Chain A
């Protein structure tokens, strides 16, 4: 085959693949929004209130647990760690955690937090499980943003006699704050979309939770149950509405993180 023919075939494949990628996205978004936007009205949101509240609580508690640990671990890895062995071990653990599928997180949360720790199906049990699940995202994104802080900032601060903690709190973290916010927002996206790890730990009860020890049903779990069990004649209409709401949330998250990221390049 001549180079020209080969080149043409290869470029066609490249274009075709990119086209397929875009098409998949457009098809999914288009289908959901087209059928679901009409379902979003006041009544719909009232019916969905328990799930929305549960989702917000799960997000809040998971972030509260995971973000401080994640940021501190990233600071350790980037600003402190000197022993190569220790760093390798921690990196291996983080990569492994990132690779564990959510259904296994669900299993773990069920046997450890729900049963062994006797937290029962509850927002707390679910948030602890999700907290571990989102740790890798928070650590890696925070680490990336710490890398962007120039060393000259650190030197400048140390040379003035600032301690390491002062330098961290007053110079490094403020300079990396955009990245840290990005990490938090990405984690929120992950939690909103999660089903497998959630229904095994938070439960599926459709009620307004009265605290973190209460069980509940997040939006994604609610959507799954609607689709899987098609409860009631109105189920699919509700399902489209819920899917639309989920899509709008993740779209906002993506756009917001891109906005944050672009702001950094200016």
Chain B
């Protein structure tokens, strides 16, 4: 199964002021697969994730060298429209962060800011996105209620729906289940497996079993470097690097 490369990084380095947080990252992320980023806390996996939709731009003193190539274009090159980039590369955060507005408005927020105004189109997008995120049946009768009244697991699926509503090609997920209970976690994992039919997914996870269950490929990060990147099966059954083996067998982290 040699699929198409969706995102490719070349000699990617990232500095926070003087501190180097990412060193020489070269990864090929394949289209319509789930790529898991694993590693101990502070290893740079979340930082790496945020370079892909340039969320690190928000941090003062953050400097990036190297390239992140998305569909043959370097996203750190000149004349890149960050707004369009973030529309194509959606993100789901560690803690569910619905806005303080109705369920409907949360989903419609993205399409609206990108110019969709017609009520019927918005209705359609909202329903489609909520269905894709497996939450339509739970909320269809109360679309006008405040999104903050939902449970944590529902909120996170809502946030996934919100990300899908702007029709992205890639969805970045930063430990999306770390704040959720096991049942909600399972629902989100099912959802991810379903979503990869249409989307390229990159997920940061602390939970190795989760990585093994849902991903096609896994990258193991340590101290800002990629130690090993391979098919998930290979990483978990036959790692080449002894450090990877130590980590996945639970000797540190």
A160→B89 CA distance, assembly (Å): 8
Q: Which of B84, B95, B163 contacts A159 (CB 8 A)?
A: B163
B93 & A156 in contact (Cβ 8 Å cutoff)? yes
- Tell yes or no: B217 within 8 A of A by CB: no
- Tell yes or no: B30 within 8 A of A by CB: no
Contacts A82-B60, A170-B109, A170-B113: A160 and B99 contacting too (C-beta < 8 A)? no
Binary flags per residue of A141-170, CB closer than 8 Å to B gives 1, else 0: 000000000101111111111110010001
A258→B83 CA distance, assembly (Å): 40
- Tell yes or no: B183 within 8 A of A by CB: no
A159→B57 CA distance, assembly (Å): 11
- Tell yes or no: B53 within 8 A of A by CB: yes
Binary flags per residue of B155-169, CB closer than 8 Å to A gives 1, else 0: 000010011001000
B86 & A160 in contact (Cβ 8 Å cutoff)? yes
Contacts A82-B60, A155-B55: A160 and B113 contacting too (C-beta < 8 A)? yes
**A160, A162, A170, A175 interface centre (most CB from chain B within 10 Å):** A160
Q: Which residue of B lies closest to A169 (CB)?
A: B113
- Inside 8 A of B113's CB, which chain A residues have their CB? 160-163, 166, 170
- Inside 8 A of A174's CB, which chain B residues have their CB? 100-101
Binary flags per residue of B53-82, CB closer than 8 Å to A gives 1, else 0: 101001010000000000000000000001
B58 & A158 in contact (Cβ 8 Å cutoff)? yes
A162→B55 CA distance, assembly (Å): 12
- Inside 8 A of A33's CB, which chain B residues have their CB? none
A160 & B95 in contact (Cβ 8 Å cutoff)? no
A152→B156 CA distance, assembly (Å): 13
- Tell yes or no: B90 within 8 A of A by CB: yes
Binary flags per residue of A164-204, CB closer than 8 Å to B gives 1, else 0: 00100011001100000000000000000000000000000
> Nearest-CB distance from B55 to chain A (Å)?
6
Q: Which of B58, B159, B166 contacts A161 (CB 8 A)?
A: B166
- Inside 8 A of A163's CB, which chain B residues have their CB? 83, 113
- Inside 8 A of A155's CB, which chain B residues have their CB? 55, 58, 91, 93, 97
- Inside 8 A of A156's CB, which chain B residues have their CB? 93, 97-99, 159, 162
A157 & B83 in contact (Cβ 8 Å cutoff)? no
- Inside 8 A of A166's CB, which chain B residues have their CB? 113
- Inside 8 A of B240's CB, which chain A residues have their CB? none
Contacts A82-B60, A160-B162: A153 and B109 contacting too (C-beta < 8 A)? no
A72→B84 CA distance, assembly (Å): 27
A56→B58 CA distance, assembly (Å): 43
- Inside 8 A of B110's CB, which chain A residues have their CB? 160-162
How many contacts between A and B, using CB within 8 angstroms? 65
B97 & A161 in contact (Cβ 8 Å cutoff)? no
**A154, A156, A166, A174 interface centre (most CB from chain B within 10 Å):** A156
- Inside 8 A of B95's CB, which chain A residues have their CB? 152
By size class, the interface of chain A is 10 to 19
Q: Which residue of B lies closest to A149 (CB)?
A: B100
B109 & A160 in contact (Cβ 8 Å cutoff)? yes
> Nearest-CB distance from A262 to chain B (Å)?
17
Q: Which of A82, A150, A162, A170 contacts B97 (CB 8 A)?
A: A150
- Inside 8 A of A150's CB, which chain B residues have their CB? 97
**A150, A153, A155 interface centre (most CB from chain B within 10 Å):** A155
- Tell yes or no: B139 within 8 A of A by CB: no
- Inside 8 A of A159's CB, which chain B residues have their CB? 53, 55, 86, 90-91, 93, 163
> Nearest-CB distance from A78 to chain B (Å)?
14
Contacts A159-B163, A160-B163, A161-B110: A152 and B97 contacting too (C-beta < 8 A)? yes
> Nearest-CB distance from A15 to chain B (Å)?
43
- Inside 8 A of A158's CB, which chain B residues have their CB? 55, 58, 86
Contacts A174-B100, A175-B100: A161 and B60 contacting too (C-beta < 8 A)? no
A163→B85 CA distance, assembly (Å): 12
Contacts A160-B87, A161-B113: A153 and B162 contacting too (C-beta < 8 A)? no
- Inside 8 A of A157's CB, which chain B residues have their CB? 99, 109
Query: Which residues in A have some Cβ–Cβ distance to B below 8 Å?
Result: 82, 150, 152-163, 166, 170-171, 174-175
Beyond the given pairs A157-B109, A175-B99, 9 more chain A to chain B contacts, judged by CB atoms under 8 angstroms and listed by A's residue number, are: A152-B97, A154-B58, A158-B58, A159-B53, A159-B90, A161-B84, A161-B85, A161-B110, A174-B100
